[in-house]
Amino acid sequence: MTARRADYKHILPLQTRWADNDIYGHVNNVAYYGYFDTIVNDYLIGAGALDIHAGAVIGLVVETGCNYFAPLEFPQKLEGALRVAKIGNSSVRYELAIFKAGDDQAAAEGHFVHVYVDRATRRPVPLPPALRSALEKIAA
């Protein structure tokens, strides 16, 4: 059974783009990963937990996955949903869903895992307090 909107802690309005459609007339699978990145980074930046330009710590994606349940297409208003499934010492598992605007059942559900590393050395580091706090607010 697919996720419902109420299963998620954070919702972000999205809009399909012309370039998202493929030759078959629906949003191509690769576009969903762009939506996922947008949802997570919008949340983290808005929460003051991530400085993408000058922060000492950055997140690297080490695992992703997505299941598709209903087609989406351009032009269509969407809603991206986010929750945190697991917080580790230097990693986090995000769970995401994409909904047609107003729908309660997800058109797609996915996840990805970030490992947070030192920007210069690329070695794992403990989650900074501001990041951990932001993640805990949307933990499932």
Tens digit of each residue's pLDDT (9 = 90 or more) over 104-121? 999 999 999 999 999 999
Q: Residue 131: phi, psi to the nearest 5?
A: -70, -50
Question: How many domains does the chain contain in total?
Answer: 1
- pLDDT higher than 80, residue 127: yes
Q: Compute the average pLDDT of residues 23-41.
A: 96
Predicted confidence (pLDDT) at residue 1 exceeds the cutoff of 70: no
- At residue 123, does pLDDT exceed 70? yes
**Mean pLDDT value across the chain:** 96
Instruction: Report the pLDDT averaged over residues 6-18.
Output: 96
Rounded Cα–Cα distance for residues 117 and 8 (Å): 26
pTM of the shown model:
0.94
d(CA 89, CA 127): 6
CATH of the domain at 99: 3.10.129.10
Q: What pLDDT, on the 0 to 100 scale, is given for residue 2?
A: 78
Domain assignment of residue 11, given as a range: 5-137
Nearest to 87 by CA among 66, 62, 115: 115
Residues in the chain: 140
The string over 24-53, giving b where at least 16 C-beta atoms fall within 10 Å of a residue's C-beta and e elsewhere, is eebbeeebbeebbeebbebbbeebebbeee
